[in-house]
Amino acid sequence: MGIKKVVFLDRDGVINRDSPDYIKSWDEFEFFPGSLEAIGLLTRAGFDIIVITNQSVVNRKMVSVKELEYIFDRMTREVNAAGGRIKDIFFCPHVPQDQCDCRKPRPGLFYQAQQRYGLNLSGAYMVGDSAKDIESALRAGCGHALLVKTGNGAQAESILAQKNILPRRVVEDLYAAARWIVAHDEKHIFPDHP
């Protein structure tokens, strides 16, 4: 399995446009400009991409697991066609009242990925658009939590500031995050890199 470099991505608000009515079908799924290119860039740089996403649409009975998996499959195929690769997708189907361990801001999905692939989370990157994404990544021990301004990013900045939680970086979108991650990784591998 041998994953050495991993980037966790939230889905809605990072890869694709979010909706207050939830994403319930492939017809409602719309990639952000640059997100396919971003995943391609990370893939070419040697990162494994794992999507970590809350999908309460399942327990809200708005989408079946089969329908959700169809959306994931279509998304993955589009990513592959654009030169990227998603290694795996972990999702929480629960609503907040379920008090599960896998719904962000709890870190359960990260631990599931860690267990499946033997990951060192301290070297991992997480890109999210919500306070929950950043909190869950930091609780799981991810070394680098990046907040994008797409989706709920503006609201998340203010929530995180109130909680005195600082993301490693705040960037415009997933493509900007990918460029920063690749540059940071190269500096880390080659410490004398300018």
Q: Which residues are catalytic?
A: 10, 12
Q: In DSSP terms, which residues pair with 105 in a beta bridge?
A: none
- The rounded distance, in Å, linking the Cα atoms of 85 and 123 is 20
Judge if the upstream peptide bond of residue 191 is cis by omega within 30 degrees of 0: no
Task: Give strand pairing partners of 12.
Answer: 16
How far apart are the C-alpha atoms of 124 and 122, rounded to whole Å? 6
Residue 137 tokens read as 């990544």
Cα separation, 175 vs 181, whole angstroms? 10
- Which of 117, 114, 129, 118 lies closest to 54, judged by CA? 129
